[in-house]
Structure 1
């Protein structure tokens, strides 16, 4: 396939991933202010979308980690071609949509890394992956960041409830608007860059950009717009889980969770750590649940989320690897990959319509509940009713 056409396909699919990243991760910033009533759902996602857009322009350090760090450079430049980036993106998108369907706040970032790693290993071999970068800037931050955010949120909650009188705690609702906005800004700064990095990686791999260079301005702009549009679309399933599915959140807790999430993400973005904002936000929510006296953490839900964290990289990697294997068929392999991606996206969307979750559902359905159809009553011979 013509290299220019292949790069165009990669860019298009990367922007689809960026869109899914937006609606998948809206909950990171807005689940707790929606849960406490600090912000109305539609106002919350609109605010998140605008600040995601702004945040995408603030830094490119994470983009450089992906475009010039994770995948090794060989004598001829980056060791993988655009077609393998294409395969990796399919793995990331499919896993993102599956976890969205389940209302599971898994990591869009790790789905992307897993997809790229799986495709690179099949296409080139293990030598294509820079193990040092993988360990220092992805794996270690993935383990430490949610723990750090949870610990900071725990301490912040303890302090808030110790020094602020009960009657004054509703004031934290106003504070949540500010802290939730900061999380959205930080999310744009960290997560939009990952798509910038992928597009830059594809351009370098195709010889259309110099090795070691950062994302071009047009790449920054289109990625910022894609993640903002995705954020505005909602992501209500995951908001429902993160807002109330782990613990009942009061305004002071929400403020503490968002502040700890912001601090962790911004510090990591500055250092070029491509961490998962979802893991950080979830860690913060668990921390505030432990920190408030009388609160309870739903460890079953937390366990499902943690399991999702563990399997995201290998699951997305397996899909990416299979797509890369199919691509060995040549032109028709790439066509088959594109057809699979389109079919998977359509099938998941159609299935999701069986239980449509929108902003109104946040007030009527408990997180984690399975909505079952009502059974019709049938009449007995004596005229009394009973469930069928």
Structure 2
């Protein structure tokens, strides 16, 4: 005897299967983030095991093993946060897919770290702590450990919030806080700290101004010309030549430490030569590529797409060559102090330490990078290939100018500042045209103040979040580091 018709039985079964399917979907949704955390944790454990393998014969190897684990944790956070600045504009402009950006960035970051990363790293980051004030090697080791842990935790927190912050400034804050806790405020080189604080303003403003200037140039000489394609044939090869020359100078200065030291004058000569050769090669290619194109902005976006991809790849290579030290610098200092029983102002980086940094950045990028890439690329302001190209070019130019002036700048602040510069320039330009239209026609409808605020091309909520994160990075990392150092000292020193 059945309790209903066959049709009702099938409906009941469908409902039950639907409930089960919903539970499975919910489980997958909850479990997906845990996969990334699980892989990251496995890498941290492997880094610790690798340190045990290379350093296990030493009587105090447990400190190095712990430092290797935290160094791997720091590298993962750099990959999750810092790399977004290089790839975000290209992804936001649709010149690269998210998957393509991750592959290119992973390869270029690793190559930059392993092929061009420096052999020597400063243990007292940016000269902000007087080495004489930390004379005890055990105190020095725990100070470096506290700086490593605090900077990694701060970058992790910033990534979770969705704020691209400077990992360099995080490490600076960590070293400063531990140094103050260990030896007092007199241990800090305050003039150097003043320069670093000034860079909070100089980096984004300079990057934004340069990006806005290039965008204004592109608008005036290409976009708003009657024959856009003819103008592009004239100026796009010039812009590509400038890009190549700037990046050649940038990489000669920043990315060839392992091979040779090149001063600014020689690097500029290399850049001029590379830029001239690139211009000669690009002119016929752009002419052929532009044949048959329609006279509209969409065609121009195509011409800027490939140069933008190359610029993102070069920025990632240079970033890997320079910023891997943020992950492995304190670790290398701890390894040196454990091996020789003393600390030095500069130490060599063992290959296994550099591998931890390079692989950690790659894992962090692949597992957690998409969140910040999307935020930087599309949630601050709308980017297209021309605007993103201006951001990438301004990042390289600003670093060169800052090196010439001797200013400690942050690649994060420069790149994000470039995006702000492009967005605010577009706001200013649109408002100027709106005022001109209103003045020339009495029939134009006035827009209410609230509607004007809604139409802003830079999202103010992200702007305020990012600026606030920049301002508190050094003091927050310093406070965390001081507390961690005091805790470690109470237990181990």
Taking structure 1 as the reference length, what is the TM-score of the superposition?
0.76
Cα deviation, 1:165-186, whole Å, max 9, x if unaligned, reads 2434212122210111122122
Cα deviation, 1:262-314, whole Å, max 9, x if unaligned, reads 23346657888653222111101011112334382223321211011011111
1:263 & 1:129 partners in 2: Cα distance?
Answer: 31
1:198 & 1:227 partners in 2: Cα distance?
Answer: 16
2:362 & 2:405 partners in 1: Cα distance?
Answer: 24
Confirm or deny that 1:289 pairs with 2:348: no
**Does the C-alpha gap of structure 1 residues 265 and 68 become closer, same or farther in structure 2, counting only changes over 3 Å?**
closer
Q: 1:202 maps to what in 2? A: 334
Corresponding residue to 1:175 among 283, 295, 307: 307
Corresponding residue to 2:360 among 226, 230, 253: 226
Q: Residues 122 and 324 of structure 1 are in contact (CA less than 8 Å); yes or no, is this contact kept in structure 2?
A: yes
Q: 2:201 maps to what in 1? A: 143
2:119 & 2:149 partners in 1: Cα distance?
Answer: 24
2:117 & 2:408 partners in 1: Cα distance?
Answer: 12
Q: 1:113 maps to what in 2? A: 172
Q: Residues 179 and 262 of structure 1 are in contact (CA less than 8 Å); yes or no, is this contact kept in structure 2?
A: no
**Does the C-alpha gap of structure 1 residues 7 and 141 become closer, same or farther in structure 2, counting only changes over 3 Å?**
same
Paired residue secondary structure (1:81):
helix
1:120 & 1:243 partners in 2: Cα distance?
Answer: 37
Corresponding residue to 1:211 among 344, 348, 353: 344
Q: CA deviation at 1:160?
A: 1.4
Q: 1:322 maps to what in 2? A: 483
Q: 2:231 maps to what in 1? A: none
Paired residue secondary structure (2:83):
helix
1:315 & 1:30 partners in 2: Cα distance?
Answer: 27
**Does the C-alpha gap of structure 1 residues 114 and 212 become closer, same or farther in structure 2, counting only changes over 3 Å?**
closer
Cα deviation, 1:12-64, whole Å, max 9, x if unaligned, reads 21221011111112210111111121001011011011111122242539933
**Does the C-alpha gap of structure 1 residues 150 and 79 become closer, same or farther in structure 2, counting only changes over 3 Å?**
farther
Q: 1:159 maps to what in 2? A: 217
Q: 2:320 maps to what in 1? A: 188
Q: CA deviation at 1:199?
A: 2.2
Cα deviation, 1:177-203, whole Å, max 9, x if unaligned, reads 011112212221231122232223324
Q: Residues 62 and 274 of structure 1 are in contact (CA less than 8 Å); yes or no, is this contact kept in structure 2?
A: no
Taking structure 2 as the reference length, what is the TM-score of the superposition?
0.61
Paired residue secondary structure (1:63):
strand
1:148 & 1:142 partners in 2: Cα distance?
Answer: 11
Q: CA deviation at 1:67?
A: 5.2
Q: 97-106 or 4-13, which moves further after superposition?
A: 4-13
**Does the C-alpha gap of structure 1 residues 291 and 173 become closer, same or farther in structure 2, counting only changes over 3 Å?**
farther
Q: CA deviation at 1:90?
A: 1.9
Paired residue secondary structure (2:163):
coil
Q: Residues 20 and 93 of structure 1 are in contact (CA less than 8 Å); yes or no, is this contact kept in structure 2?
A: yes
Q: CA deviation at 1:79?
A: 9.2
**Does the C-alpha gap of structure 1 residues 118 and 215 become closer, same or farther in structure 2, counting only changes over 3 Å?**
same
1:310 & 1:213 partners in 2: Cα distance?
Answer: 29
Q: CA deviation at 1:254?
A: 0.4
1:200 & 1:126 partners in 2: Cα distance?
Answer: 25
Q: CA deviation at 1:204?
A: 4.5
Q: 288-297 or 33-42, which moves further after superposition?
A: 288-297
Paired residue secondary structure (2:122):
helix
Question: What root-mean-square deviation, in Å, do the aligned CA atoms of Structure 1 and Structure 2 show?
Answer: 2.9
Corresponding residue to 1:134 among 179, 193, 196: 193
1:66 & 1:59 partners in 2: Cα distance?
Answer: 18
Q: Residues 337 and 343 of structure 2 are in contact (CA less than 8 Å); yes or no, is this contact kept in structure 1?
A: no
CA radius of gyration, larger in: 2
Q: 2:373 maps to what in 1? A: 239
Q: CA deviation at 1:252?
A: 0.3
**Does the C-alpha gap of structure 1 residues 188 and 234 become closer, same or farther in structure 2, counting only changes over 3 Å?**
same
Corresponding residue to 2:150 among 83, 88, 91: 91
Q: 2:79 maps to what in 1? A: 22
Q: 1:340 maps to what in 2? A: none
Paired residue secondary structure (2:348):
coil
The answer to which structure has the higher helix fraction is 2
Between Structure 1 and Structure 2, how many residues are aligned?
331
Unaligned 5+ residue runs, structure 2?
1-58, 223-227, 229-295, 431-455
Paired residue secondary structure (1:39):
coil
